[in-house]
Amino acid sequence: MDSALLFTLLGTGVMLYLEKVRWFGGRSRISNISIVAYIVMTSMMLMALVCLALEKLVLHAAYIPISVLIMATLLAFFSMTLYRLFIKEFYGMYLKKKQPTKHIVIFGAGEAGRLSKTVLRSQAGSNQKIHAFLDDDVQKEGDNIGGIPVYWGLDHLMSLQQEHGITDLLISIMCISPKRKKDIIEECLRLGIKVSVVPSIDEWVKGGFSVGKIRQIRIEDLLSRPEISLDNPAVFSQISDRVIMVTGAAGSIGSELCRKIISHKPSLLIMVDKAESALYDVEQEFKGGHWKSPIKPVLADIRDTRKMDRIFHEHKPDMVYHAAAYKHVPMMENYPEEAVTSNVLATKNLADLSVLHNVKQFVFVSTDKAVNPSNVMGASKRIAEIYIQALSGYLDVEKGQVTKFAITRFGNVLGSNGSVIPLFKKQIEQGGPVMVTDPDISRYFMTISEACQLILEAGAMSKGSEIFIFDMGEPVKILDLAKKMIQLSDKKVGKDINIVFTGLREGEKLHEELICHSEKLLITHHPKIRLVKMSNIPFNRVNYQIEFFERLLILNSSTDIVRHIKQIVPEYVSNTSRYNVLDRLN
């Protein structure tokens, strides 16, 4: 009997150990009876096997009756169930004492709102109280959901905050317009209420809904327009089973473009970039995915014409998406020769190689800073636009050429490398101050996904020599953006984080534009895509002007280079730059 008791205690110990490993191993913090039963039964079977082995192998071994094992199993089952309940309650009480109370309002009194209430209340250790539902449906006002009143609109939010000290609002509506979401968020920011949203329908269906799926508001949610989504079957048919080349493939836009392209099943995706570590990271991401299309990462500088020619000759791409460029405005003001070699000459060489190797489609990624430019970077991109359009017009005359050219032009891309969003985020994380150049400066914004969709759509829509732009809505004031980012970080402007105005940087202008003075804006089949038409440009003259840069680069004179840029782009007028003197001399 002593041996039986010993084995019973040993079995229970094994069970508790397994339970402890499971509890602290992070697999599941919320227990259920099936987990306990699984652990107990597994332990009992192990003990039975041990007893059987000892009985067969060791003479005079203590025999444990089946009844003892069954009793030990039942005892372990009930003790572990009580143990788990006790730990859960103890842990919940600990969290409640440790965490401050959240006073919550749920916006949305439909099925999503009801489910959100259930999920929030079931969270272990949650120290929160739901005080009200808000909804835009006036017929729901006065209703009661599980003892919680429903109010119409946002008008009651301030009074609820004053009465109950509301700290959080959860937007729990599956289909809500971006404008309405923006209104709700801005009202919460004004009142100092933290905002969260439930996951999208796709996330909800795929992974269920839990507290962990509730996300904080992102700056993209504050765009006053819906995110543009394109679903053109022509994009798939154009990319599928084709050899596709992407330059700048390791950048924020280039890498996302590669992700979208490979989902369309090309026969080969060639990813060209000169950034070794970033290209390696993208390669590892694709190798670890479920993609069936082969990839070919190529470490190369697009300015190396001979190497790029070898790449074209070896892989024979059907389409080229040219996203590689230098894009930092102040940096290019200091190094105009780099802007010329990378943004102008390299683009010219790639376009020429595409014609030479019979590439079917060439898409050039430009910027709104190329429109009536005020800096070297924007002017260099404008020259690249001019050359591509001149070359495309010249090839229309020459029969037998197959390459079609298209240009995409868009504003600042949220979250891209070098954009203002990650810069502000880093400054906020460091405790400030947040640096804003001018209180009146504004920019057009779009998401990385939108930018990549426009690039792919341009390739599918292009008939040659077009510039495509998105309807990006109204420009956003950078000062307002900075304030909202600080508030979304649970900080107060002027108290926790200060905003400092530094003055416009070299070459920077207050407001960007979408079309030049000489261009016309035309509609397309899609209401959010516009087509820019410009006058014909003599190819021979543009080609000679760009080739003349080779001589100027030998002289290594920044002033001479910028003077020649201004001759090619007469609308280029420097702003807050040392090159202003060249405008006064003209």
Single out the residue of 370, 248, 242 nearest to residue 300, CA to CA. 248
d(CA 270, CA 302): 13
| Residue 265 annotated among the catalytic residues of the structure | no
Distance CA 329, CA 368 (A): 13
Owner of token pair 């001479």: 560
Q: Tokens 């099943």 identify what position?
A: 265
Q: CA-CA distance, 47 to 69, in Å (whole number)?
A: 8
Could you list the beta-strand ranges (E) of 377-472: 404-409, 412-414, 434-436, 442-443, 445-447, 466-470
Length of the chain: 586
Nearest in space to 558 (alpha carbons), one of 366, 383, 341, 385? 341
- Count other Cβ atoms within 10 Å, centred on residue 103: 19
d(CA 541, CA 181): 52
Q: Specify whether the CB–CB gap between 15 and 40 falls below 8 A.
A: yes
Which contacts of 140-144 are long-range, i.e. CB under 8 A and separated by 24 or more positions? 140/109, 143/109
Number of helices (H), then strands (E), belonging to the chain: the values are 22, 22
CB 123 within 8 A of CB 99: no
Phi-psi region of 441 (alpha: psi -120 to 50; beta: other; left: phi over 0): beta
Estimate the crossing angle of helix 178-191 against helix 157-164, to 10 degrees: 40
Which of the residues 117, 181, 194, 369 is marked catalytic? 369
From residue 173, give the alpha-carbon distance in Å to each of 115, 135, 138, 544, 551. 11, 9, 15, 59, 62
Element (H, E) at 135: strand 128-135
Task: Write out the two tokens for 13.
Answer: 């110990």
CA nearest neighbour of 257 among 392, 458, 94: 458
Closest CA to 361 of 351, 373, 375: 351
Give catalytic residue positions: 369
